[in-house]
Amino acid sequence: MLDATASGVYVIAATPFHDDGRLDDASADRMVDFYRGCGVTGLTILGMMGEAPKLDTEEAIGFSRRVIRRCGNLPAIVGVSAPGFAAMRALARSVMDAGAAGVMIAPPASVRTDDQIVGYFAQAVEAIGTDVPFVLQDYPQASGVMMAPSTIRRIVEAHASCAMLKHEDWPGLEKLTAVRLLMAEGAMRRVSILTGNGGVFLDFEMERGADGAMTGYAFPDMLVDVVRLQKAGERDAAHDLFDAHLPLMRYEQQPGPGLAVRKHILKLRGAIQSDAQRKPAIPLSPLARAEVSYLLARLAERDARAKGLGLHPETAGRGLGAEPCQTAVGGSVRE
């Protein structure tokens, strides 16, 4: 069960489909194994980038069960944000029964004032039950809901089952510091903070007090290394590795085409069999595909050069031949 000491990388998992749009069970299994090989601490499924709204209820529950089972000892968090509490409760109870470690909830755009936000989470907790650990997702760009640090504090203090803040306000570095300060001052119980937003500020977020990342960048092994290096105090090495990936991370973070990029790379890395998305989907144009190839080639070349220069491999840009992740092989990215 998820608790407030969680740290590391909880990768936002893709939802694999066959080319014809059916859920791809075999790829779901393979993807879990791939993520495990990348060294992630846990998985988060049915997130915003997991095409959750494109599944009907039965599919959502079936997919969750399969992934949770394959995860084994890896904790799995399930996104249960829903237009209403009945559906939220139904999904939350189903996945917890199936062995999920917790659920994730983002507020709907209709709540606006501090009190409305706090009230919404009170109703959500009442709906799912106080025994279900939950992640408070703070993602204003997607939800339209702006939570002040003092509002986050009120929610955390009101609900012992709030185990984690998924921090993806943008910009968010000062907010992260403000929330951690409330905890340091004793004004707020300590909870885990993992950061999202495609990871594009993970380098400094770790220095501001994040416990890790919860995002779906197609090189979760890099996220794992950055988190580990920062925790080990190897700041420059962390930034070197991070910076090497930033051009691609930025490209993958684009709302819309970003998911196509992510699935495309996951397919190249052998994690899933097809990069198909359900509609509405923005496919990868031929130009975009070529741009991704160029970025991948630069990443691979950088990896090679760093080794030639005798630099520490971890600082050289985790390329496509990363060892810890057996399913990723350098050769497989030549399209």
Residues lying near a copy of itself in the complex (CB under 8 A): 51-59, 82-87, 89-90, 109, 112-116, 119-120, 123, 126-127, 146-148, 150-151, 170-171, 173-174, 177, 200-201, 203-204, 207-208, 239, 242-243, 246-247, 250, 254-258, 278-280, 285, 287-288, 291, 294, 298
Shortest distance (Å) from residue 144 CB to a copy of itself: 9
Q: DSSP assignment, residue 109?
A: T
Q: Which is nearer to a copy of itself, 42 or 198 (CB)?
A: 198
Shortest distance (Å) from residue 104 CB to a copy of itself: 16
Chain Cα centroid distance, residue 221: 13
Q: Which is nearer to a copy of itself, 3 or 291 (CB)?
A: 291
Q: Which two tokens stand for residue 84?
A: 């209403």
| DSSP labels, 244-272 | HHHHHHHHHTSTTHHHHHHHHHHHHTTS-
Shortest distance (Å) from residue 257 CB to a copy of itself: 6
Q: Which is nearer to a copy of itself, 36 or 245 (CB)?
A: 245
Shortest distance (Å) from residue 327 CB to a copy of itself: 27
Shortest distance (Å) from residue 195 CB to a copy of itself: 14
Q: Which is nearer to a copy of itself, 13 or 124 (CB)?
A: 124
Shortest distance (Å) from residue 3 CB to a copy of itself: 27
Q: Which is nearer to a copy of itself, 58 or 131 (CB)?
A: 58
Shortest distance (Å) from residue 72 CB to a copy of itself: 28
CB atoms near residue 191 (< 10 Å): 21
Shortest distance (Å) from residue 36 CB to a copy of itself: 28
On the CB side of 46, how many CA atoms lie within 13 Å of its CA? Answer: 33
**b or e along 111-131 (b: 16 or more beta carbons within 10 Å of the residue's beta carbon)?**
beeeeebbebbeebbebbeee
Q: Which is nearer to a copy of itself, 19 or 126 (CB)?
A: 126
Residues in the chain: 335
Long-range contacts of 58-67 (CB under 8 A, 24+ apart): 59/23, 60/91, 61/91, 61/94, 61/95, 61/98, 62/23, 63/15, 63/23, 63/28, 64/91, 64/94, 64/95, 64/98, 64/100, 65/95, 65/98, 66/25, 66/28, 66/29, 67/13, 67/28, 67/32, 67/43
Q: How far apart are the first and last CA of the chain?
A: 41
Q: Which is nearer to a copy of itself, 57 or 130 (CB)?
A: 57
Distances (CA, A) of 30 to 59, 106, 223, 275: 18, 28, 20, 14
Q: Which is nearer to a copy of itself, 72 or 108 (CB)?
A: 108
Q: Angle formed by the axes of helices 235-252 and 286-308, to 10°?
A: 160
